[in-house]
């Protein structure tokens, strides 16, 4: 069996750290790992699979040594500069930033939804936005069975999605809440402690935020439905990890309640938690540390003819970023073996 050489770019960030953890768990056929980060982190030592590694500084020559795959999670500007360099050397890049998601020739992939698109790459594959990933895992089986007419997204997104500075803002708010000490905000305009901020990423001219536009456009691309009617409101909440989403769906076709639940229950990557008699439904602390998408509060929307409401929760750093990228890589490893066979 071939063993692969991979690079992890942005290895010291929140997602990069999770990538290392997931890679340790999966034990894929990888013979060599190289970890890259910015100049600031270069030279630091990390322990990975009981072996010490030194973080290398990313530069234009980093991919001269042949790599099979590169997992990028170092921000859009870094990806724009270095992903094409890596791809030009024959490396398959799986990029976690928004840099290439809406490029026509770059597949935007969630393995449970459209893994076949991953084989159509030209050297770069995009990982969707974390909030989009968990949503489309729940939407895809329903799209296939009933055809979706319209989606209304309302998200409740954890601070880990804003990186280390977002986490620091919440932690500092908690620490200083009793004595009411003032502290410097690192990420958000307002305190996230005790607040919900309906503002993720920058505001656009149309009144939506960039995060909301990402969810709308990425859902259309992943489901291959450029005409799909979608609206979104994305909110940052004082939760450390795992995003929660209220998704209202209107279908073209009629559905039976029990059949719809069974459809979700039998779909890859989904766990149903929907027992209202015992007050069981998905919550962030239960989803954290897992790769599944949890769905509950499944109920018919009686205000329209063919509508349903879902509550969808997933770990935004694992399934919403690190694990999704590694699942794509894992599939391509198996695909290459099948082609050779």
Crossing angle of the two packed helices 14-26 and 163-175, in degrees rounded to 10: 110
Q: Which residues are designated catalytic?
A: 130, 243
C-beta neighbour count of 174 within 10 angstroms: 13
Q: Is the confidence at residue 341, as pLDDT, over 50?
A: no
Tell me how far apart the alpha carbons of residues 14 and 19 are, in angstroms, rounded to a whole number.
9
| CA 195 from centroid of its chain's CA atoms | 24
* pLDDT > 70: percent of the chain: 98
Mean pLDDT of the chain: 96
**Domain assignments of the chain as residue spans, ordered by start:** 4-127+321-340, 132-316
Q: Which residues contact 240 (CB under 8 A, 6 or more apart)?
A: 158, 159, 160, 167, 170
**Phi/psi of residue 64, nearest 5 degrees:** -65, -35
> Are the CB atoms for 96 and 28 separated by under 8 Å?
no
C-beta neighbour count of 120 within 10 angstroms: 11
Tell me how far apart the alpha carbons of residues 159 and 150 are, in angstroms, rounded to a whole number.
28
Q: Is the confidence at residue 339, as pLDDT, over 60?
A: no
Looking at CATH, the fold of the domain delimited by 4-127+321-340 is given as Rossmann fold (3.40.50)
Q: Is the confidence at residue 158, as pLDDT, over 90?
A: yes
On whether the 132-316 domain is CATH 3.30.70.1060, my answer is no
- Tell me what pLDDT residue 1 has: 58
Tell me the pTM.
0.96
Q: What is the DSSP letter of 207?
A: S
- Tell me what pLDDT residue 336 has: 62
For range 180-195, the mean pLDDT: 95
Q: Which residues of 197-218 are buried (b: 16+ CB within 10 A; e: fewer)?
A: beebbeeeeeebbebbbbbbbb
Whole-angstrom CA distances from 246 to 5, 84, 235, 243 are 40, 37, 11, 10
Per-residue pLDDT of 255-313, as tens digits, reads: 999 999 999 999 999 999 999 999 999 999 999 999 999 999 999 999 999 999 999 99
Q: 340 pLDDT band (50/70/90 cuts)?
A: very low
Q: Is the confidence at residue 219, as pLDDT, over 50?
A: yes
Q: What is the DSSP letter of 244?
A: E
Report the candidate in 158, 176, 175 with the shortest Cα–Cα distance to residue 166.
158
For range 321-340, the mean pLDDT: 85
C-beta neighbour count of 258 within 10 angstroms: 8
Q: Which residues contact 196 (CB under 8 A, 6 or more apart)?
A: 156, 235, 236, 237, 238
Tell me how far apart the alpha carbons of residues 332 and 72 are, in angstroms, rounded to a whole number.
16
Cα end-to-end distance, the chain, whole Å = 11
* pLDDT > 90: percent of the chain: 95
> Are the CB atoms for 303 and 265 separated by under 8 Å?
no
Enumerate long-range contacts of 274-282, CB under 8 Å, 24 or more apart: 274/298, 281/311, 282/244, 282/311, 282/312, 282/313
Q: Which residues pair with 236 in a beta bridge?
A: 157, 197
Tell me how far apart the alpha carbons of residues 257 and 309 are, in angstroms, rounded to a whole number.
11
């Amino acid at each position: 069996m071939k063993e692969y050489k991979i690079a992890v770019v942005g290895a010291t960030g929140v997602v990069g750290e999770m990538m290392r953890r997931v890679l340790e768990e999966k034990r894929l056929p990888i013979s060599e790992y190289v970890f890259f980060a910015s100049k600031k982190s270069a030279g630091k030592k990390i322990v990975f699979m009981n072996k010490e590694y030194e973080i290398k500084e990313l530069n234009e020559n980093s991919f001269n040594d042949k790599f099979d795959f590169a997992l990028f999670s170092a921000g859009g500007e870094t990806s724009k500069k270095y992903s094409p360099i890596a791809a030009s050397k024959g490396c398959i890049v799986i990029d976690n930033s928004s840099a290439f998601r809406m490029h026509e020739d770059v597949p935007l992939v969630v393995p449970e939804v459209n893994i076949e698109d991953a084989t159509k790459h030209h050297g770069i594959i995009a990982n969707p936005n974390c909030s989009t990933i968990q949503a489309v895992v729940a939407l895809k089986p329903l799209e296939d069975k009933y055809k979706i007419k319209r989606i209304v997204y309302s998200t409740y997104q954890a601070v880990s999605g804003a990186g280390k500075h977002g986490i620091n803002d919440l932690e500092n708010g908690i620490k200083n809440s009793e004595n009411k000490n003032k502290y410097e905000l690192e990420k958000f305009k307002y305190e996230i402690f005790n607040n919900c901020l309906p503002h993720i990423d920058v505001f656009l001219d149309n009144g939506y935020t960039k995060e909301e536009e990402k969810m709308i456009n990425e859902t259309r691309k992943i489901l291959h439905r450029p005409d799909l009617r979608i609206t979104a409101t994305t909110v940052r909440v004082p939760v450390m990890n795992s995003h929660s989403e209220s998704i209202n769906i209107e279908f073209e076709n009629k559905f039976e309640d029990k059949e719809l639940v069974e459809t979700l229950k039998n779909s890859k990557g989904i766990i149903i938690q929907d027992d209202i008699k015992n007050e069981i439904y998905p919550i962030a602390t239960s989803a954290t540390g897992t790769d599944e998408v949890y769905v509950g509060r499944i109920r018919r929307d009686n205000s329209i003819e063919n509508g349903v409401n879902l509550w969808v929760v997933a770990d935004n750093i694992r399934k919403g970023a690190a694990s999704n990228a590694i699942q794509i890589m894992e599939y391509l490893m198996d695909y290459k073996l099948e082609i050779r066979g």
